[in-house]
Structure 1
Amino acid sequence: MLDFEDSELPINLGDFSHIESLAGGALPSSFKKFYLLRNGGYLESKELYGDECVYDIHGFESLKHGDLPIEQLYQDLVESYEFLAGLVPFAFDQGGNNYLVSLRAEDYGKIYIWLHDEEELKPVFDSFEFFEKGLAA
Structure 2
Amino acid sequence: MPKRKSMQDDACPVARSLDLVGDRWSMLIVRDAFDGIRRFSDFQRNLGVAKNILSDRLSNLVAEGVLEVQPASDGTSYQQYVLTPKGESLFPVVVALRQWGERNLFADGEPHSLLVDKDSGAPVAVMLPRDHAGQVLTPLNTVVKKIPAQ
Query: Greater strand share, 1 or 2?
Result: 1
Which of the five TM-score ranges fits, normalised by the shorter chain? under 0.3
More contact order relative to length (CA 8 Å, sep ≥ 6) = 1
Q: Which has the larger radius of gyration?
A: 2
Query: Greater helix share, 1 or 2?
Result: 2
TM-score normalised to the size of structure 1?
Answer: 0.23
